[in-house]
């Protein structure tokens, strides 16, 4: 009966998660108009920890994540065995779960864990053992340290910023068990533990050794410990409550699959799992602590309900109270109606019609936007001039003319402004003292030949000028 109760809780929680998704968009008839006399609270100065109604709606759209995993159990009670010393060696267990995001940093998860607990104590003082199947189920809240580890300068969802996401969680669960002991062999002989380390069919004594038979434990747990009522507790409850405390790391191995590695300490509120407690006396006296256990596990988590669009979409994480961030996201510097964050053409002239990317239309695809294209219907793959007009064959041939350019020593004949001072000086600035030695002809003008010689000398490492001096020299030359 208790098993069915736990499964009912699990299924109820799963149904609750799905029902939240199905009720995200209520009809208008379900909405009661607010009382206009009630003034809503001012949340303008609230901490960034809280979210706007729009963001809360977004987080309610998080789809359930299914989990399936396995691990090992280490038992920590009054009757222990070798497993308790090593958290990664123990009896096998399996777990299933359904998780749903409440916030970007907080998940709620319904879990079911099935496995076995055992203890075998063999000491000179006492020889006790037990084994039980158990089933636990409950709910936990998981926190992923987003507030501490998220990089605010990356406009990405926190879970997309990191390969490994740490988690801590705490919850509440029910725990069902029915412990049995291995006290007899297959023939019904009761185990009697002798001081020499043997197990025999009769109690140890000086006159019975020859009549005793050495037995071997068959590890078949056939005796119901509660029915034995060893400590006068009667038919105690075989269901208890526990507090699971979990630490884990989650790795995204596929867009729909995560791998979680973790360990959960189940703080059991019962001290009767191994049928030994502080109610016992003598060799049956317990240590007064509860019978808890550690589950070390791996779990594969599957996102099978999100649409492909939701999987591919990067959720930008902004500070909703930051005016600077609003300016970045919502700004539109060129005023074309497309915010700067999505605008591929930042400086569109005012009044020019643009597409959804913020770029001016170019109907003929000739590389010149309509507003600066003198020919709007240029044939495909045409060669155009800088006004977007198709060039004729003669114009193309003229542009492809490979006639040799003028020789360097003929520059002055074609461009006299580049040669000589008297007729073509653009300014009368004095040459800086550091460059006076470059004016070899003494005309108080640094010519192109003198600049070229200074640069050649610098790269031949025969000059005292620095690279900054060369930059300054070229600026002076073009400013003359």
In CATH terms, is domain 2-17+50-182+219-312 a member of 3.40.1710.10?
no
- If we measure between CA atoms, which residue out of 298, 244, 224, 235 comes closest to residue 136? 244
Query: Cα 63 to chain center, whole Å?
Result: 16
Question: How far is Cα 280 from Cα 450, in angstroms, rounded to an integer?
Answer: 107
Question: How far is Cα 36 from Cα 239, in angstroms, rounded to an integer?
Answer: 52
Return the residue matching tokens 């009382």.
Answer: 35
> What are the pLDDT digits (tens) for 243-271?
999 999 999 998 899 999 999 999 999 99
> What are the pLDDT digits (tens) for 200-242?
999 988 688 888 999 999 999 999 999 999 999 999 999 999 9
Question: How far is Cα 322 from Cα 324, in angstroms, rounded to an integer?
Answer: 5
> What are the pLDDT digits (tens) for 284-320?
999 889 999 999 999 999 998 887 766 665 444 344 4
pLDDT of residue 414: 61
What tokens does 152 get? 């605010």
pLDDT of residue 155: 66
Question: How far is Cα 193 from Cα 404, in angstroms, rounded to an integer?
Answer: 112
What tokens does 162 get? 């990191």
Model confidence at 426: pLDDT above 60 = no
- If we measure between CA atoms, which residue out of 20, 100, 23, 103 comes closest to residue 63? 100
- If we measure between CA atoms, which residue out of 252, 286, 285, 257 comes closest to residue 270? 286
Across the range 275-283, mean pLDDT stands at: 92
Report domain extents, the chain.
2-17+50-182+219-312, 418-480
pLDDT of residue 3: 47
Question: How far is Cα 469 from Cα 316, in angstroms, rounded to an integer?
Answer: 47
Phi, psi for 304 (deg, rounded to 5)? -105, -5
Model confidence at 46: pLDDT above 70 = no
CA atoms within 13 A on the CB side of 216: 1
Return the residue matching tokens 């939701």.
Answer: 310
Let me know the angle formed at the C-alpha of 407 by 401 and 409, rounded to the nearest 5 degrees: 160
What tokens does 237 get? 């409850």
Confidence category of residue 357, pLDDT binned at 50, 70, 90? confident
Question: How far is Cα 237 from Cα 235, in angstroms, rounded to an integer?
Answer: 7
pLDDT of residue 185: 94
Across the range 268-288, mean pLDDT stands at: 93
- Higher-confidence position of 419 and 279: 279
What tokens does 252 get? 């995204």
Confidence category of residue 472, pLDDT binned at 50, 70, 90? confident
pLDDT of residue 227: 95
Question: How far is Cα 6 from Cα 28, in angstroms, rounded to an integer?
Answer: 37
Share above pLDDT 70 across residues of the chain, in percent, rounded to a whole number: 75
Residues 6+ apart with CB under 8 A from 104: 59, 146, 157, 158, 159, 315, 317
Across the range 45-51, mean pLDDT stands at: 41
pLDDT of residue 440: 85
Question: How far is Cα 351 from Cα 371, in angstroms, rounded to an integer?
Answer: 10
pLDDT of residue 79: 92
- Higher-confidence position of 156 and 148: 148
Confidence category of residue 199, pLDDT binned at 50, 70, 90? very high
pLDDT of residue 51: 46
Query: Cα 426 to chain center, whole Å?
Result: 63
pLDDT of residue 328: 54
Question: How far is Cα 407 from Cα 411, in angstroms, rounded to an integer?
Answer: 7
Other C-beta atoms closer than 10 Å to the C-beta of 101 total: 20
Across the range 23-34, mean pLDDT stands at: 40
Question: How far is Cα 202 from Cα 190, in angstroms, rounded to an integer?
Answer: 8
What tokens does 439 get? 């004016």
pLDDT of residue 463: 82
Model confidence at 382: pLDDT above 70 = yes
pLDDT of residue 311: 65
What tokens does 217 get? 């434990």
Question: How far is Cα 285 from Cα 313, in angstroms, rounded to an integer?
Answer: 60
Model confidence at 117: pLDDT above 90 = yes
Model confidence at 453: pLDDT above 80 = yes
- If we measure between CA atoms, which residue out of 252, 246, 215 comes closest to residue 109? 246
Model confidence at 86: pLDDT above 80 = no
Question: How far is Cα 19 from Cα 12, in angstroms, rounded to an integer?
Answer: 10
Across the range 178-207, mean pLDDT stands at: 92
> What are the pLDDT digits (tens) for 358-381?
899 988 888 888 888 898 888 988
pLDDT of residue 419: 59
Confidence category of residue 34, pLDDT binned at 50, 70, 90? very low
Q: What is the full DSSP assignment across 176-234? A: EE--EE--B-TT-PBPEE-TTS-EESS---TT-GGG--EE-------EEHHHH-TTS--
pLDDT of residue 47: 37
pLDDT of residue 22: 44
Question: How far is Cα 114 from Cα 134, in angstroms, rounded to an integer?
Answer: 6
Query: Cα 472 to chain center, whole Å?
Result: 51
Question: How far is Cα 351 from Cα 336, in angstroms, rounded to an integer?
Answer: 7
Share above pLDDT 90 across residues of the chain, in percent, rounded to a whole number: 40
Residues 6+ apart with CB under 8 A from 198: 214
Confidence category of residue 27, pLDDT binned at 50, 70, 90? very low
> What are the pLDDT digits (tens) for 162-177?
889 999 999 999 999 9
Across the range 102-107, mean pLDDT stands at: 92
């Amino acid at each position: 009966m208790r098993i069915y109760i736990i499964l009912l809780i699990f299924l109820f929680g799963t149904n609750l998660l799905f029902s939240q998704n199905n009720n995200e968009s209520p009809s208008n008839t379900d909405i009661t108009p607010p009382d206009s006399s009630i003034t809503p609270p001012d949340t303008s100065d609230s901490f960034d920890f809280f979210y706007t109604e729009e963001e809360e709606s977004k987080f309610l759209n998080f789809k359930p994540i299914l989990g399936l995993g396995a691990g090992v159990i280490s038992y920590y009670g009054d009757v222990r065995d070798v497993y308790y010393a090593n958290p990664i060696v123990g009896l096998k267990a399996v777990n299933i779960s359904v998780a749903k995001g409440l916030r970007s940093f907080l998940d709620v998860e319904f879990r079911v864990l099935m496995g076995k607990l055992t203890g075998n104590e063999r000491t000179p003082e006492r020889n006790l053992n037990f084994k039980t199947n158990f089933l636990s189920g409950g709910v936990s809240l998981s926190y992923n340290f987003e507030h501490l580890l998220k990089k605010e300068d990356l406009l990405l969802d926190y879970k997309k910023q990191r390969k490994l996401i740490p988690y801590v969680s705490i919850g509440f669960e029910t725990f069902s068990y029915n412990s049995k002991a291995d006290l007899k062999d297959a023939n019904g002989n009761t185990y009697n533990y002798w001081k020499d380390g043997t197990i025999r069919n009769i109690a140890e004594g000086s006159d019975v050794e020859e009549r005793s038979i050495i037995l071997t434990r068959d590890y078949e747990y056939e005796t119901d410990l509660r029915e034995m009522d060893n400590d006068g507790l009667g038919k105690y409850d075989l269901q208890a409550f526990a507090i699971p405390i979990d630490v884990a790391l989650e790795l995204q191995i596929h867009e729909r699959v995560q791998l979680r590695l973790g360990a959960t300490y189940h703080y059991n509120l019962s001290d009767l799992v191994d049928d030994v407690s502080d109610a016992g006396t003598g060799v049956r006296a317990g240590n007064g602590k509860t019978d808890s256990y550690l589950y070390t596990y791996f779990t594969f988590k599957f996102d099978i309900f999100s649409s492909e669009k939701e999987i591919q979409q990067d959720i930008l994480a902004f500070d909703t109270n930051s005016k600077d961030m609003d300016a970045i996201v919502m700004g539109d510097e060129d005023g074309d109606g497309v915010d700067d964050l999505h605008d591929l053409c930042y400086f569109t002239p005012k009044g020019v019609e643009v597409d959804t990317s913020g770029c001016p239309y170019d109907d003929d695809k000739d590389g010149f936007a309509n507003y600066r294209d003198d020919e709007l219907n240029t044939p495909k793959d045409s060669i155009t001039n800088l006004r977007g007009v198709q060039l004729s064959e003669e114009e193309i041939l003229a542009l492809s003319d490979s006639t040799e350019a003028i020789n360097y020593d003929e520059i002055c004949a074609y461009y006299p402004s580049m040669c000589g001072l008297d007729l073509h000086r653009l300014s009368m600035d004095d040459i800086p003292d550091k460059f006076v030695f470059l004016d070899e002809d003494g005309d108080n003008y640094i010519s192109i030949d003198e600049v070229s010689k200074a640069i050649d000398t610098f790269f031949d490492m025969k000059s005292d000028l620095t690279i900054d001096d060369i930059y300054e020299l070229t600026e002076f030359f073009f400013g003359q």
